[in-house]
Structure 1
Amino acid sequence: MKLELRHLRVVCAIADAGSLSKAASVLGLAQPALTAQLHRIEALLGGRLFERDHKGARPTPLGELVLERARVLLPAFSRLQEDALRLVDDGEPGERHRVGAVNGPMLGGLVHRLTEEHPGSPVSTQVSWSNDELAAMVAAGRLDYVLVGVCGDAPPPADHGLTWSVIAVEPVFVLVPEDHPSALLEEVDLAALADTQWAAVPGDGCFGDCFVAACSRAGFTPRTLYEVDMAACIDLAAGGDAVVLCQPTFRHTPGLVTMPLAGVPLRWRHLIGWDPEGPAAAFGPQVLRYAAEAYRETAERSARYASWLAAHPEFGTVGHHANV
């Protein structure tokens, strides 16, 4: 795991709020999830960033250094994004499609549909691990639409005034080597994996907390959950070093298989958001339909997931009326 801009935003949010509980509310996170993020950031930087007590959180000397640099870097990065978008946006508002996305299965298919059905409209993309960062870019007019994922019934970012619609609801699968003892089963009990290490791609929501809670319900406390990019997840799974928590649409990789978890202890919702007052709002329902089509197409590529969906019709794409 490397230091990223989203980590600097977390540090600034804690410093500005003066406590982890207030910062968690501002960021739309559960406090345990924010605390866990802070611990990971401190581990990356080699020391404590805040002194915390009943009065709140105060920056340490290391924290002051990080804050000083972050308050220079973050505005500079935002200006860079704005200048770059002004340079590449040749069309007028409403004649272009600027799409942001977190890790998910639909971005490629959505871009394909937009470019095929609307060849005269430029399409640009922005990828981030942070739902909140992308939502803020839509609110600021730097993106038109954003594809995000949230765990279970958790809400999407609520501080930016966006309209949100559910594209699909899916189970969380696990990625294991094809010679794993569970690989030939129809599904695997979470408790049967109690002694393994775990891996998942990073994010700024409550997925880590939900995973720990699911393990607790299954009767165990999970070992280390590595937060790494998808390439590292594949390496860890292939080497037998970790079981990867993954989306069921994960593209087939030789030597690896995706497995459903019995009882669906973890769910994931894919959402799309846009500014209801922005110029792109009128086209939002069409983009939602394109995203749903892209999801169905991706799901059909996985024989195991397609079979699972046939037996669990309450999952997969939902009606276009499903607003959040």
Structure 2
Amino acid sequence: MELPPGLAVQGEQKVCRLLKSLYGLKQASRQWYAKLSQALLSYGFVQGNSDCSLFIKKSESSFMALLVYVDDVLLASDSILEIERLKTFLDAKFTIKDLGPLKYFLGLEVARSKTSIFLCQRNYILDILEDTGLTRSKPIAFPMESTLKLSANDTNFYEDPSGYRRLIGRLFYLTLTKPDLAYSVKVLSQFLAKPAVSHHQAGIRVLRYLKAILGQGCVDTRRSVTGFAIFLGNSLISWKSKKQVTVSRSSTEVEYQALATATCEIQWLFNALQDLDIKHSQSALLYTDSKSTMPITTNPVQHERTKHI
């Protein structure tokens, strides 16, 4: 720690007393990331282009990928020796705690076999059910009825809006491993400002659906929903259900915007695969069920029906 200019007195060796924990400072996370990334880069890692928290180290005999979340680190490599060397280096720099093979990380449970890796959030779901008192509730088969009409104009407000917001936030985190929740959670998140009793009841139904799986539009807006699912081989690796930013004037425009969003996600995934040194020479196949959209994607000429997109 350096003393401010003018504070040092000749002949005295004083230091500053830290009155506030470093973790409480706004710049703490930024300073920590700068120090950690500097150490990793000096060790031979290269920062990924697709994700600034991803670091890659390649050599003729090994490959190593390191993912950082604040002060938690995930490490993957095809060389146990390289992993041990890196752990020794990090321990000398920062004093680390080795938690062993990945089993539980930020609410994600990881199980692996010789042929695959399985991700779930079972304990996270159980915690939510216990906190909401729904551990003994009756499970149901689907999260939201297709005929359900929720409105922001409902004046029968829920008595605990902060509790509703907290519930929706926890459900959002569940969409990491459960794409079947994406649409329901997206709909419920539109009423965070003034949640009504009906909105909370719809959220409770989602929780009852979650208990069953442990081991479509909104009247308040004219904006449509973008939804896509991306597969790498037979594995579903990315999905989204999100309201579009603008109001579309036709179903063709809706489908075209959804294709554009999916294309951006595919391009990012290509960059991520490149960072991980996974070669994917084939072109991605993008499917749509809109025949009116396909001519627009193949003909870049703009005319009066598409120039506003």
Identify whether the pair has TM-score above 0.5, normalized to the shorter chain.
no
Using the size of structure 2 for normalisation, the TM-score is 0.27
Structure number with greater Rg is 2
Structure that is richer in strand per residue? 1
Give the TM-score taking structure 1 as reference length.
Answer: 0.26
Q: Which has the higher helix share?
A: 1
